[in-house]
Structure 1
């Protein structure tokens, strides 16, 4: 029997990669094989490219590896025990794949399972930077017709952002400050705006702030120009180690701080200030509990993140993008998408 081949982007070492043919996946029992339509390039992928990703040093990941965890596609085949009705469905998938039997999984917290795999990230589960990938059918979410492939590949980052926005517990008339106008920060701002919150954004004095204004966010600041206003919630969606502490300083007493960004080095907060201000602090790791509601928000148009996508490239252009190059003709948005079918 001849082994089917497909093209894939394979990261072989820090800064080293190849695009070549690899064996196409075969659906194991309980799995589905997906024809990939779109994949988002994420900051996590860039950390693997540089070798800075903590999982590499903790033994959870190793080279060679296939990246890609923000994806949308169509079910091409299913394995034993899977209803064939799945074939042909347009889907996206959860990144976090718990073991299914531990206490955390049984309590519905599979995204923090100690033995979890993460698609394209952890546990040698290949990602979507390829023409096809295989995942458990239980991880799939069906995409309605109104959620195209571009939106489908934005569901995973959107789920993280939705959870962060909800953790801010917004009420109509509340004022929230989002630190970091990257993909996640802008998505958080969109979900907060949809909830009726007065949204402020803080970032560096560069094109990201100009782009935020183009998205309709008029209250946009740099760190030295944030106004002296009561912020009922502050969401840190940055990678700056000092901003978690600043979030705590800026939030209103009895407010909420939400940490969804990750710095490359340890950050600190003064828990005395946390207690004396009676502040609630929430950390957000995963999109998993927010995926279904994110799809609904995209489907009904209450949140439309399409403008965040600056360009769509092929597999051969992924390496330069991970190295920091901007595709020729890219728009102002922070997100780059990949279509594995582009040659």
Structure 2
């Protein structure tokens, strides 16, 4: 089968590789669409500290946002899964530790992450091996492109929940990337007054077109009561900014990851009685995200900048072709092209 392989830092191409064979409790999914995100870009560039942290070695098989159809089932898997349209959890816990048994498999110390950790092959390929326990069936209303947006949507929904966003509250989302704009959409769906802070004029205009109450640069941001703040940036200074501007007694969700340590003044956190929550993966919110897309309550399609073929992935990851178009941040890969 065809798969995109990263063979060394900033070097990758489509190659022929052996197709996966399902073991006990596993299925093979024929990939329809897969998404490219900032994590993929960072891994493509090959930062050695990041690779070591994630237990990765070259060649890398990227891709953790995906949907497709089950075409093979391994021993012990209900044959009814074959033919179903699915997406799946990125986080694959060991299944037997205390964290996994208590529903916290996303922080299992021995977890794999599809296309991200432990060299579990990713979805930038024609076929993907997945444990059946990670699968989620997609209803007909969730198209292939929507299915590839479930994983980032689940991260956004978890962030909105962690920040305590609710009807009548005022939320500030930091960042106009995919997770930031999806967080704004989910916060609006909760009935909150939503504002977005960013730097890219086109992305801020896109945010306005999505119905947010305000889209601002940091210099323009009005002095309002922010009941909830979601940091979806990769800027080291933004977590502290979030804590500084949130209303006393409010909540801050941190879903962005910077390339260097972010410093927060705990005197401010304690003095304002602020709750700060970190987000790792959308695992607990996958089904709710599918339901929101199926009902039309949240529509992520305006965030898609373009859909490319597998042989265009290297140009997208390297920056030879820009990821954004008219402010839209998400690139999808159509594996049928």
After superposition, the Cα gap between the structure-2 partners of 1:195 and 1:85, relative to the gap in structure 1 and judged at 3 Å, is same
Distance in 2 between the 1:338 and 1:13 partners? Answer: 21
Distance in 2 between the 1:191 and 1:179 partners? Answer: 14
Does structure 2 retain, via aligned residues, the 8 Å contact 1:47–1:53?
no
* Aligned partner (choices 291, 305, 309) of residue 314 of structure 1: 309
Does structure 1 retain, via aligned residues, the 8 Å contact 2:323–2:330?
no
Offset of 1:217 from its aligned partner?
2.1
The equivalent of 1:161 in structure 2 is: 156
The equivalent of 1:250 in structure 2 is: 245
Unaligned stretches of 5+ in structure 2?
A: none
Distance in 2 between the 1:328 and 1:182 partners? Answer: 11
The equivalent of 1:185 in structure 2 is: 180
The equivalent of 2:5 in structure 1 is: 10
Pairs within 5 Å for 1:100-249: 100-249=95-244
The equivalent of 1:338 in structure 2 is: 333
Matched, 1:87 2:70: no
- Structure 1 runs of 4+ aligned residues shifted over 3 Å read 325-332
Distance in 2 between the 1:291 and 1:222 partners? Answer: 31
The equivalent of 1:298 in structure 2 is: 293
The equivalent of 1:63 in structure 2 is: 58
Does structure 1 retain, via aligned residues, the 8 Å contact 2:200–2:327?
no
Distance in 2 between the 1:53 and 1:187 partners? Answer: 30
Pairs within 5 Å for 1:35-74: 35-52=30-47, 54-58=49-53, 60-74=55-69
Offset of 1:332 from its aligned partner?
4.0
Does structure 1 retain, via aligned residues, the 8 Å contact 2:155–2:282?
yes
Distance in 1 between the 2:268 and 2:55 partners? Answer: 35
For the residue of structure 2 that corresponds to 1:23, the secondary structure is coil
Distance in 2 between the 1:163 and 1:117 partners? Answer: 20
Offset of 1:118 from its aligned partner?
0.3
Does structure 2 retain, via aligned residues, the 8 Å contact 1:40–1:153?
yes
Distance in 2 between the 1:277 and 1:137 partners? Answer: 45
Distance in 1 between the 2:333 and 2:65 partners? Answer: 10
**How many residue pairs are counted as aligned between the two chains?**
337
Is 299-308 or 212-221 further displaced after alignment?
Answer: 212-221
Does structure 1 retain, via aligned residues, the 8 Å contact 2:169–2:192?
yes
Offset of 1:63 from its aligned partner?
1.1
Unaligned stretches of 5+ in structure 1?
A: 1-5
CA offsets 1:37-71 (integer angstroms, 9 cap, x no match)? 00000100000111237540325112111100000
Does structure 2 retain, via aligned residues, the 8 Å contact 1:35–1:131?
yes
Distance in 1 between the 2:316 and 2:213 partners? Answer: 30
Computed over aligned residues only, the root mean square deviation of the Cα atoms, in angstroms, reads 1.4
TM-score (norm 2): 0.97
Distance in 1 between the 2:112 and 2:151 partners? Answer: 16
Does structure 1 retain, via aligned residues, the 8 Å contact 2:36–2:332?
yes
Distance in 2 between the 1:176 and 1:328 partners? Answer: 27
Does structure 2 retain, via aligned residues, the 8 Å contact 1:44–1:53?
no
